[in-house]
Structure 1
Amino acid sequence: MFISGFSMVRNATKLYYPVRASIESILPIVDEFVIALGSGDADDHTLEEIQNIQSGKIKIIHTEWDLKKYPGGGEYAHQTDIAKEHCKGDWLFYLQSDEVIHEKYLPAIKKRCDELLTNREVEGLLFNYKHFWGDYSHYIVSHAWYPKEIRIIRNNPEIHSWRDAQSFRRIPAFNGVNYFQKDNTYKLKVAEVDACVYHYGWVRPPEMMQKKRVSFETHMQGNEKAVSIFKEEPDVFDYGDISKLCIFNETHPEVMRDFIKKFNWQNQLYPHNSQLKKHKHDKFKYRLLSFIEQKFLKGNQIAGFKNYELIHPKPANQ
């Protein structure tokens, strides 16, 4: 069994992505790690950050981004596909650069890949998610956030990154351009794996979080629209009231140790003399739905979108 890790990134160090920790978190169980590295800004040092890992498993594919050809976040999916196409594995393990796997999950992940290797019905593996918010001690459980997502796929040329690269679909006659198409696309048949992705995308210094949001909206909607969206907003992101979020009392992945040491914005999480901003997960509608889902439905979302077909295959050795 051969497992390939893969990802895509651009301006990771400039925008405070834990890209090194993300890659290192699965290196022990992958045979290679392919990353599509987009040409970044002059003050970005992502290439050096990746090279400092000093692993022969890592393969860097240098790319250029074309936001006109792939608008609306489609370039994220395109870059993901570029990395995917260079993978040799039976299974392909995808992580975005703000996603990290705790070392405690690695044995279960590898075992699951091995026991389902010959079951061709299984096209991917579904992971749980833990979305950290504001700092490393709080995380979100909300109807407004996705609780699970596909992060391991079979090496099938018909499987492509989809929409803005959050997930995957099988697209047999894909034209290589329209990553938002729905017609003639198929949700992957996936099996669950007893593992969790730690998502740190919303844990940044407030000024860096705002810069990342501007960058994201520029990629999604273009520079003019992004300028319009943020012209009335402050330069510092307001995380709102994090006191109502879940408290994280477990350990973080060991590879995140040095990155977490940089945390120094605690005094900016509760701004004085200002009305705390309400985010989507703070709104009454989503808080009510979340309460019902967690209290009575074992965390299953009410009419939640699922970009997969969950199946329950028996391992080959049973």
Structure 2
Amino acid sequence: MKVAGFTFIRNAVQNDYSIVEAITSILPICDEFIVAHGNSTDTTLDLIKSIDSPKIKIIETVWDDSVREGGRTFALETDKAFKAISPDVDWAFYIQGDECVHEKYLETIRKEMEASLNDPTIEGLLFNYMHFYGSYDFYAHSRRWYRREIRIVRNLPGMESYKDAQGFRFNGRKLKVKHIPAYIYHYGWVKAPSGLKTKVKNTGRFYSSDDEWIDRTYNEDYEFDYGNAERLLKFKDTHPQVFQDRVNRSNWKFSFDPTKMGRKMNFRRKFLAFIEDLTGKRLFEYRNYVIVKRS
């Protein structure tokens, strides 16, 4: 079994993306790792090279900045990385620049890939998600946040990134996947308020072509509203080893009271949250995949 990791990145330093942590978190179970490096204006390329692993192959890409709707650019760049994977690779492990995998899941992930290698009904592996928010001590848990997504796919022609690179399609349809007992940790919303302002402003340019609206909305007086998470829960486990230095270096105070967040939810969302807490089932959930087997 041969496994390739793949990702895309641009201006990781400027936007404070944890791309090194993302790559190194899954590098131990990858035979090669493709990094599609966009035309950065900072030292991102040097940052990637600093990992200094013979497994890593960097391909240089140029982003089409005229693509301004729906985050489509992210999918296009993901596809460039995927197409650079060696043809003899069986599984392709995708990770984004603000994601990370805890080392405790690596052996489980490897075994799940081996178990499904010769099962043609399994086209991808579905992960659980934990979205950290505002602080390394809290994670968001509500219908506003996707709780599962595909991160491992077969290396097959016809496999493509979907919409804004949240998931995948195979020959234009949803993938048939196995849901595995492993998590992707998403850290994109763990930043100081000033960092989140930079994030939403820069990312917004890939979802809207209205620069005037973006500049007006995210002006000097803009303050990020932590209340948008709806619901936060206390994180009581450990972070990945490769992420520990970032956790130790965090120097902002998350002063928002998470117990007050649920007050913004309407009755319907509160009721559905109650049912989910009671049964573990998320009713009417959008699924970007078709589950054919569970671990």
Which of 204, 209, 214 is the equivalent residue of 1:226? 214
Change (3 A) 1:67 1:265: same
User: Is contact 2:92-2:155 (8 Å) kept?
Assistant: yes
Which of 188, 195, 200 is the equivalent residue of 1:208? 195
1:247 aligns with 2:234: yes
1:269 aligns with 2:255: yes
Structure 1 CA distance, aligned partners of 2:229 and 2:84?
41
1:100 aligns with 2:100: yes
Residue deviations 1:241-268, cap 9 Å, x none?
Answer: 98962111111000001111221111x5
Matches within 5 A, 1:59-74: 59-69=57-67, 71-74=69-72
Which of 83, 88, 91 is the equivalent residue of 1:85? 83
1:47 is aligned with what amino acid? L
Structure 1 CA distance, aligned partners of 2:70 and 2:228?
30
Structure 2 CA distance, aligned partners of 1:242 and 1:70?
25
Structure 2 CA distance, aligned partners of 1:252 and 1:15?
21
Change (3 A) 1:257 1:29: same
User: Is contact 1:218-1:225 (8 Å) kept?
Assistant: no
User: Is contact 1:134-1:242 (8 Å) kept?
Assistant: no
1:283 aligns with 2:281: no
1:85 is aligned with what amino acid? K
Aligned to 1:303: 284
Q: How many residues align?
A: 290
Structure 1 CA distance, aligned partners of 2:145 and 2:57?
32
What is the CA-CA distance between 1:302 and the residue it aligns to?
A: 1.4
Structure 1 CA distance, aligned partners of 2:238 and 2:112?
23
Structure 1 CA distance, aligned partners of 2:207 and 2:216?
13
Q: TM-score, normalised by structure 1?
A: 0.85
Change (3 A) 1:279 1:47: farther
Structure 2 CA distance, aligned partners of 1:188 and 1:241?
31
Change (3 A) 1:146 1:243: closer
Structure 2 CA distance, aligned partners of 1:258 and 1:308?
35
User: Is contact 2:144-2:229 (8 Å) kept?
Assistant: no
Change (3 A) 1:104 1:287: same
Aligned to 2:20: 20
User: Is contact 1:70-1:78 (8 Å) kept?
Assistant: no
Change (3 A) 1:280 1:157: farther
| 3-state SS of 1:240 partner | helix
Change (3 A) 1:264 1:306: same
Which of 275, 293, 297 is the equivalent residue of 2:276? 293
Structure 1 CA distance, aligned partners of 2:3 and 2:167?
19
Aligned to 1:147: 147
Residue deviations 1:65-120, cap 9 Å, x none?
Answer: 11324633111000000000011221000001111000000000000101110111
Matches within 5 A, 1:41-56: 41=41, 44-56=42-54
What is the CA-CA distance between 1:288 and the residue it aligns to?
A: 3.4
Residue deviations 1:184-226, cap 9 Å, x none?
Answer: x210000011100000010011101111100111111022342
Matches within 5 A, 1:66-215: 66-69=64-67, 71-88=69-86, 89-171=89-171, 185-215=172-202
1:269 is aligned with what amino acid? S
Change (3 A) 1:15 1:288: farther
Structure 2 CA distance, aligned partners of 1:39 and 1:161?
20
| 3-state SS of 2:93 partner | strand
Structure 1 CA distance, aligned partners of 2:263 and 2:239?
23
What is the CA-CA distance between 1:283 and the residue it aligns to?
A: 2.2
Structure 2 CA distance, aligned partners of 1:91 and 1:75?
24
Residue deviations 1:132-159, cap 9 Å, x none?
Answer: 0100000011111111000000011101
Structure 2 CA distance, aligned partners of 1:216 and 1:34?
23
User: Is contact 1:144-1:280 (8 Å) kept?
Assistant: no
For structure 2, which runs of at least 5 residues remain unmatched after alignment? none
What is the CA-CA distance between 1:128 and the residue it aligns to?
A: 0.3
